[in-house]
Amino acid sequence: MRVKDTEIELRLREGENTVELKARNKLGGETTATGYKVIKGDDDLKIIPGGSTIIDGKYDFHFETYKSPKIEWLRHYTVPLVADSKNQWVKYMSLKRWVREQIPYKESRMKSHWDAQRILQAVWSDSTIGFICDAYAATYTSACISVGLNARMVHLETVEGSGHYATEVWSDDYRKWIFMDPLFDCYFTMDGEPLSALELHNLWKSKNFEGVEKRHDGKSEKVHCDTPANEYFNLFHDIQLINSNDFLSNPFSSVLDLLTLKIRYIRWVDESNPRYNKFELTYTILLFYYLPKIANNFMIPFLIPCVLLFLVVMVFKKNSLKIFRKSN
């Protein structure tokens, strides 16, 4: 076999041939081998893929570009963490642990914009700054991408409406997405195999937790059917996949990015969590997210001058009334 630019020259014998191909991306990540069966006849050639068929989705996933200056900046810190390991799983664990150690968990004083560089520079320069779950998920996602691994953010939500951001990473060994939470440094397994967010949702729905364990801090904790309502596992009631991971090139600005579909998300819909009522969703976001922000940023500064003006007018009226009475 000889590779020339984008073409591959093969020497094939008559009959059935087996070809395996794998690729390396420009950040150093390598795909698993994909097999093809090539059947050479007298006058024809048949190529039969040995793996699963790739199905195109309705919405394109927006991948981070390897040319991003912020990726290069992040690689300066992430590459040394995984340079000595050939094992993909170990790389994921090392990066997850590193992200958890870097970012203090506390109510945010500044927006993360899901920008790993912004987040890390902020916490490294000021020990009083911290972030919540979305910053951990975004930083871990970008850290994985920076060393050639594939990752995406996910949003989880309980029946009561409590939300949480985490991450899914692609495993070549298990050939599927695997749920990871860098904030709580945990993931879930069933009979020893790591689980995806969708698998966890289906387990939550069926209440069949036999063999399910939550793994964190090097320990295992069994999940039971009588899980309390506020237990972490109930977050898997509703799962949404963020359909991009290019936050270093295109930082997230606000919830409005999701409403205007600048950043798309894909929500899993079934009998346990039906489709959103779009009008109700928009009303809820406007009422409970944007209205308080508008009140804090505009109403209070506007209200103070109005109150002062009202007091001045009342004092002026009172003095005018006194002068009128004296003149009469």
**Residue 323 is assigned to a structural domain of this protein:** no
State the pTM of this model.
0.74
Q: The CATH number of the domain where 270 resides is what?
A: 3.10.620
215 plus 258 within the same structural domain? yes
106 plus 248 within the same structural domain? yes
25 plus 82 within the same structural domain? no
Among 259, 273, 263, 270, smallest CA distance to 241 is for 263
**Residue 176 is assigned to a structural domain of this protein:** yes
pLDDT 10s per residue in the chain (328 long)? 555 566 677 777 777 777 776 666 555 666 666 666 777 777 676 666 666 565 666 778 888 888 889 999 999 999 999 999 889 999 999 999 999 999 999 988 888 999 999 999 999 999 899 999 999 999 999 999 999 999 999 999 988 888 999 999 999 999 999 999 999 999 999 988 999 999 999 998 888 888 889 898 778 888 776 666 568 888 999 999 999 999 998 888 776 676 667 778 888 888 887 776 666 656 655 655 555 555 655 555 655 666 566 665 565 555 554 444 555 4
**Residue 133 is assigned to a structural domain of this protein:** yes
**Residue 297 is assigned to a structural domain of this protein:** no
Strands 176-180, 163-171: pairing is: antiparallel
**Residue 164 is assigned to a structural domain of this protein:** yes
Residue 321: predicted pLDDT:
47
- Domain span including residue 16: 2-49
44 plus 94 within the same structural domain? no
199 plus 99 within the same structural domain? yes
Residue 154: predicted pLDDT:
96
Domain boundary residue, one of 245, 274, 303: 274
35 plus 138 within the same structural domain? no
Residue 58: predicted pLDDT:
74
Among 132, 142, 133, smallest CA distance to 169 is for 142
**Residue 232 is assigned to a structural domain of this protein:** yes
Structural domains in the chain (count): 2
**Residue 251 is assigned to a structural domain of this protein:** yes
Kindly report the length of the chain.
328
Name the phi and psi angles at 140, rounded to 5.
-65, -40
**Residue 296 is assigned to a structural domain of this protein:** no
Residue 208: predicted pLDDT:
80
17 plus 125 within the same structural domain? no
Name the phi and psi angles at 314, rounded to 5.
-65, -40
